[in-house]
Structure 1
């Protein structure tokens, strides 16, 4: 089955008054590269999430993020950061001693000092209280839903790419048949071309040996023979189709076959003596380039 490396999925859930959102996205990549961001409350799920994602994707750059939001609306719930409060108080005392001041260190001074500092406050909104056993169960289910949608999108995109491949391969085959017919018809052309050249050079003073002309024409046709290249191209196309219908990652195999197809058509273009066959070979190259670009998106 052809799988695309490009996909996006999002799933959400609410558990115990806390909303969880899961986003998974992936783009093309030569290898598997996973970037995972999750809140510290769910750090215990990191290994499980990584394994779950790696079962759905084997290539590409995957980014997954989990975010929490307290949706209980309890905006008046506050908590004290005791270690920070003691640190601010201690800093005020040290500054008072350093400057030799007699002023008292009041709560108002501590709070004002805290406000001008970064990275948190002495008094802050309380962290959501989460029943982690229940929440982790719901979080796992949410991640699994996102992964199911993620995999479904990769399959859908992959199927579109597969159909495009098959259509373009049919076009390549059709053009290769035309090149084969044009190549097979070149022997009489080589003979006539030799006759004209010899006649032109001899100026009618030398009798032309028809048998020798036929031999030379056959020699030229043999040098320009592309039957082996056509046979290999057909073999590569058949392998390409088989891989498209096989299970597992196929991108690297398809990329290799596209390169081989390109080499064969380049050889044909350099060997053929037919202008029409050369033009058709250029069309084949164009189709192969489009296939090559699409292959970069296949897992």
Structure 2
């Protein structure tokens, strides 16, 4: 089954009082690599996130963003810095005495000091964070894998259509290739006629046949066409494999291109040369699609 490397997934997972929201995007890459953005309390679990993702994906650049929220009651508790409050009050009292000011020092005035009352730091339950984070990662990895498969099916249909198109175009190339010997024979006769025009020598039919056979053999593309048919068969076979196919398909494209270049270099007329250009153009479209395959 073909899987695309371009996909997106978003999950939210809650366990006890903790909720993890995770967004995952994947892009094309030759290898499996990660960009992970975690809250400070989750950073020690980065390697576990990579390990879980690696169980579902073998290639692609995967970007992961995580936010963590805690709905426990102690999140809303506050604590008073008594030492700082006393010091601030004594400073105000000293100022009042020095300036001979009357009146009481109000609570609101003391609260004006920075960080006298602060939100209490909750106790961090690392095991609970690890559990909810790993569960969310598994959900996200499965969701991403599902989308990759869905996008991969679209790629498979497109590639199947394009490889069939190449197969049809190749049939036209085969027909054109049959005319190459006659083309070279006619060209050879024309050249020899020019060379012997002045001295009146006649063309040797046997020698002409030999030279024609030599050029025809040199320009024969039947082996290249046979190999292209073999590559087409292999391409379809690889697309149906369960394992990752991207690298294999990319290698086959290089083999296709090598054969097309050879056929083009042997082309005996413009029609055949143009047919090869069309084949290479369609192959380039396939190559672009294959870059998305895991």
TM-score of the superposed pair, with normalisation by structure 1: 0.78
CA distance in 1 between partners of 2:274 and 2:86 (Å): 84
Tell me the CA shift for residue 148 of structure 1.
Answer: 1.6
TM-align CA RMSD: 3.5
1:252-263 correspondence to structure 2 within 5 Å: 252-263=247-258
TM-score of the superposed pair, with normalisation by structure 2: 0.80
- Corresponding residue of 2:176: 182
What is the aligned counterpart of 2:137 among 129, 134, 143?
143
1:210-225 correspondence to structure 2 within 5 Å: 210-225=205-220
Tell me the CA shift for residue 164 of structure 1.
Answer: 1.6
Tell me the CA shift for residue 40 of structure 1.
Answer: 4.1
CA distance in 2 between partners of 1:138 and 1:66 (Å): 12
CA distance in 1 between partners of 2:62 and 2:116 (Å): 38
Residue 56 of structure 1 aligns to a residue whose secondary structure is: coil
- Residue 36 in structure 1 maps to residue 36 in structure 2: yes
Q: Work out the number of aligned pairs and report it.
A: 280
Residue 13 of structure 1 aligns to a residue whose secondary structure is: strand
1:188-267 correspondence to structure 2 within 5 Å: 188-203=182-197, 205-267=200-262
Q: 1:242 to 1:76 in 2, by over 3 A?
A: closer
Residue 278 of structure 2 aligns to a residue whose secondary structure is: helix
- Corresponding residue of 1:172: 166
Tell me the CA shift for residue 270 of structure 1.
Answer: 0.9
Residue 61 of structure 1 aligns to a residue whose secondary structure is: strand
Tell me the CA shift for residue 6 of structure 1.
Answer: 1.0
1:1-299 correspondence to structure 2 within 5 Å: 1-16=1-16, 18-43=18-43, 45-70=45-70, 77-80=76-79, 114=114, 123-126=117-120, 137-203=131-197, 205-299=200-294
Tell me the CA shift for residue 19 of structure 1.
Answer: 3.6
Q: 1:136 to 1:192 in 2, by over 3 A?
A: closer
Tell me the CA shift for residue 186 of structure 1.
Answer: 1.9
CA distance in 2 between partners of 1:88 and 1:286 (Å): 77
Tell me the CA shift for residue 15 of structure 1.
Answer: 4.4
For the Cα contact (< 8 Å) 2:32–2:60, is it kept in 1?
A: yes
- Corresponding residue of 1:99: none
Unaligned runs of 5+ in 1: 97-101, 115-120
CA distance in 2 between partners of 1:81 and 1:159 (Å): 60
Q: 1:60 to 1:199 in 2, by over 3 A?
A: same
Q: 1:266 to 1:113 in 2, by over 3 A?
A: farther
Residue 4 of structure 2 aligns to a residue whose secondary structure is: coil
Tell me the CA shift for residue 138 of structure 1.
Answer: 4.8
For the Cα contact (< 8 Å) 1:229–1:264, is it kept in 2?
A: yes
CA distance in 1 between partners of 2:175 and 2:165 (Å): 16
Deviations 1:4-58 (A, max 9, x none): 1111100113444544211111111111112223334445654432221011111
CA distance in 1 between partners of 2:85 and 2:5 (Å): 51
- Corresponding residue of 1:117: none
For the Cα contact (< 8 Å) 1:16–1:131, is it kept in 2?
A: no
Residue 201 of structure 2 aligns to a residue whose secondary structure is: coil
Tell me the CA shift for residue 135 of structure 1.
Answer: 6.5
Q: 1:86 to 1:55 in 2, by over 3 A?
A: farther
